[in-house]
Amino acid sequence: MKGSGRHPLRVTARLCRLAGILLVALLDYLFRCAFRRPEDRLRVRALWLQRASRRVLRLFQFETRMAGPVPSRGLLISNHLSYLDVLVLSSLAPAVFVSKHEVKFWPVFGQFAVLAGTVFVDRARRFQVGRVNDEITVALNQGALVVLFPEGTSSNGQTLLPFKSSLLEPATNPEWPLAIGRIHYEIDDGDAGEEVCYWGEHTFFPHMLNLLGKRRVRASVQFGQFLERSLERKDLAQRLRAAILELKEKSGTANRT
C-alpha cells in the first residue's frame, strides 16, 4: 500500500473532499428520504445512493466502461471484488444491495449502507436466510433492482469463487428478470488486484487511503441477460457462475483482437 505515502497532498485533498461529499449526502438523505412514505422509501433510497455514488466516483477520478444492457429491475448477479462494486453498480442503475452483516459495522460507510436500505445477511446464522429471501422478494415486488454477490466475499479477481446458493431462491422465480454482471478494475500506477480489490487480510482505512492516492481508477462492467432458469438453487448457482465466467472469457477475447 504505497499510494498514500507517495502522494500525501492528493490523499489529504481527497479526504477533505470526501468529508464534504459525505456531509452533502447526509443532508440530501435528510431532505429527500428521511420523511418519505414507506411505499416510496425503497425507490428514493436507491436514487439517493446513486447520487452519492456518482459524487464519490468523481473524487476517485473513475472511468467506467460498460457493455451490455443495464438492468433496471429484477435480480442482478455479479462477481465481487471491492466495496467499490456498490458505488460502480449503483452509479449505473438505482439498486438495492445484499451484503454481509459485517459491513453494517464499518465506520461511516456502514451507516451509509444502512441508510441506502441494504439487506444484510449473516451467513453463519442459517435461520436468517428465510428472512433475507423475504426481504429480497419484497424489494422485487416493488419493482426494484436487487444486486446479489453470491460468492459471499470479495476476491482479487483472478478467479471466480464458488457461488453460495442459499440466497438464490428468488432467482428461481421467472416472474422477475434475471441478469448477470462482471466487474473488472485497472490502474496505471499499481496492481489493481491488490490495491483496488478488497480481500484477504486488507483492512478498510489503510486500503482506502492508498486508493485515494491513485491518479485514476478504471472499471469495466459487462452485463448480460440470463434466461436459463432452474428451480433447483444449487444447479442455478452453477449455471450463473458459468455464465459470468463466459463474460470474462469474451472480454479477454475482445481485448486480444
DSSP bridge pairs for 66: 221
Q: How confident is the model at residue 4 (pLDDT cuts 50, 70, 90)?
A: low
Q: Domains along the chain?
A: 3-256 (3.40.1130)
Give 163-198 pLDDT, tens digit per residue. Answer: 999 999 999 999 999 999 999 999 998 999 999 999
- Which residue from 79, 63, 48 is spatially nearest to 223, judged by alpha carbons? 79
> Could you identify the residue written with the cell 436466510?
129
CB atoms inside a 10 Å sphere around CB 130: 11
| pTM: predicted TM-score of the whole model, two decimal places | 0.93
Residue 5 has pLDDT above 80, yes or no: no
CA distance 30 to 62: 27
C-alpha 119/C-alpha 113 separation (Å) is 9
- 68-71 long-range Cβ contacts below 8 angstroms, 24+ apart: 68/222, 68/223, 68/224, 69/179, 69/223, 69/225, 70/223, 71/145, 71/177, 71/179, 71/223
- Mean pLDDT score, 204-221: 93
- Using H for helix, E for strand and C for coil, what is the string for 5-19? HHCHHHHHHHHHHHH
Which of 92, 100, 19, 103 is CA-nearest to residue 49?
Answer: 92
